[in-house]
Chains A and B, each alone.
Chain A
């Protein structure tokens, strides 16, 4: 069972829900893995406090030109759709940060002067915390292209019964990379005009790629009823509503779990999981 937690808008409580649900499932004795795919700003570790057992580099392939073989013919730069390689004077310059690692340049080089070499753009950590298997991808600061790190995470072999995938905010390519191939997507929102606008975009996204989905409304009492109205109109399942509680917000700020301040949440997150499991298997 693979469940992704996503939201159009950032800061709606994605990580809170993902980590709390993971822990609730673990406490029921299930084997669960949490994967932090918000590789630009991963936060799951703050709550699960994992003990990291292994760490490895996330790499992409970038071209390296052997100038002894190169005739400066320019075929490589003509083939590159991303302007990431150019013949400049008597050398060939590669711009790694905008290279998409497509292999186009090495494919066309008539002199076989280009080899692909790995370049580290981030790293992946693996460990466990609070009974949950933990994986995190982390993009290096200054790197622009994040999807390869997410892709590396999603390709991991984990044989856990339940996979909880914490997606980055938004609706563009890094999110798609994170949620594709999952069984169910939880869209987290809050009942404000911004939250609703971004929920509509997120619903459009999951419908476009055809994944089953439902909504969790966080801080459900701070705004107006328009988000619920929207969900009813669109026939979206409202899986859970979480009212605003200052002590929960304060606990969150310290990196604590919701169930630490209100034990009822452990049961509620387990029920959330069960209701999704039921939808997926039916």
Chain B
């Protein structure tokens, strides 16, 4: 069984559309949407949620006003400026301390140092994750609560579930739609996978982001291949990407032409390869043949 993860560094390079097509082309697999901040894959997979599970991301502190004596000790301990103070001239004449839940990292330092034990410390539900059925196989996806931290932890939960499912159902492939960037959720999405497919496009921005991402996959030593989307928007930069790939000894699995069929498919809530014949659909089929060989 292989874990194939599709990432892009820069957002909006067509990663999710591509994963949707790979879901239609590949066999015997489970899909995972690790872009938990902005999960879109389910929109083109015609999913039906079978199970919804709460995600406990961590803990958070809150001050019990009845017990608090306004001593102000906690304020000095919090390194995240999460503890706020309103003097008696604000808040309608009532002095008080309170905790900004978006800023609180759940470190418990204030909790330990409050002389009145006036700070509660509880687990926080910071999102939920779902197990869906789709015509293409099972889909594990999630929704991180707004303004929440710990997306990396949620990604790990999703990957673990997908692995479990793949074992139970004897699936051959775990197809992962990864998040943008190079930080915590990306690291959680790629570590330990079998193959990383980097989707880029011929723009200075996307190339810059790709280079940082390639440094990351090299850092973790994961086999990596490249896909150039919208390759005809700037043929010169496309050949620069190929040149770069050659230097790094990385395969370029596909070149997908800029094609309005990609947006049309999305509007029809379908993957590109299932929405009639188009240049992009043909390019994606060719790409999948290359990737299939690379991961088998």
Contact = CB atoms under 8 A, between A and B. Distances in A.
A40 B106 contact: no
Interface in A221-253: 222-224, 246, 249-250, 252-253
Contact of A43 (B10, B148, B151, B215): B10
Contacts of B80: 102
B184 A145 contact: yes
A103 B109 contact: yes
Nearest to A107: B109
A4 B234 CA distance: 30
Given A46-B205, A255-B204, A9 B11 contact: yes
A139 interface: yes
Interface stretch (A51-59, A203-211, A271-279): A203-211
A139 to B, nearest CB: 6
B66 interface: no
A144 B187 CA distance: 7
A254 B50 CA distance: 46
Interface in B244-271: 260, 263, 266-267, 269
Tell which of A11, A176, A201 has the most Cβ of chain B within 10 Å.
Answer: A11
Contacts, number: 176
A201 B38 contact: yes
B174 to A, nearest CB: 22
Contacts of B77: 103, 107
Contacts of B282: none
Contacts of B209: 41, 43
Given A103-B79, A209-B102, A141 B233 contact: no
B233 A197 contact: no
- In this complex, the interface size class of chain B, counting residues with CB under 8 Å from chain A, is 35 or more
Interface string B97-116: 00000100111110011000
B195 to A, nearest CB: 20
A72 interface: no
Given A171-B37, A208-B146, A253 B203 contact: yes
Interface in B206-249: 208-209, 212, 215-216, 219, 233-234, 237
B200 to A, nearest CB: 11
A79 B112 contact: yes
- In this complex, the interface size class of chain A, counting residues with CB under 8 Å from chain B, is 35 or more
Contacts of B212: 40-41, 141
B149 A81 contact: no
A43 B219 contact: no
A40 B211 CA distance: 12
Contacts of B40: 9, 193-194, 197-198
Given A141-B212, A172-B149, A208-B147, A249 B37 contact: no
A128 B107 CA distance: 38
Contacts of B263: 192, 222-223
B11 A11 contact: yes
Interface of B: 8-13, 16, 37-38, 40, 43-44, 58-59, 77, 79-80, 102, 105-109, 112-113, 144, 146-149, 151-152, 179-184, 186-187, 201-205, 208-209, 212, 215-216, 219, 233-234, 237, 260, 263, 266-267, 269
Given A40-B181, A173-B148, 4 more contacts: A193-B44, A197-B38, A198-B40, A255-B203
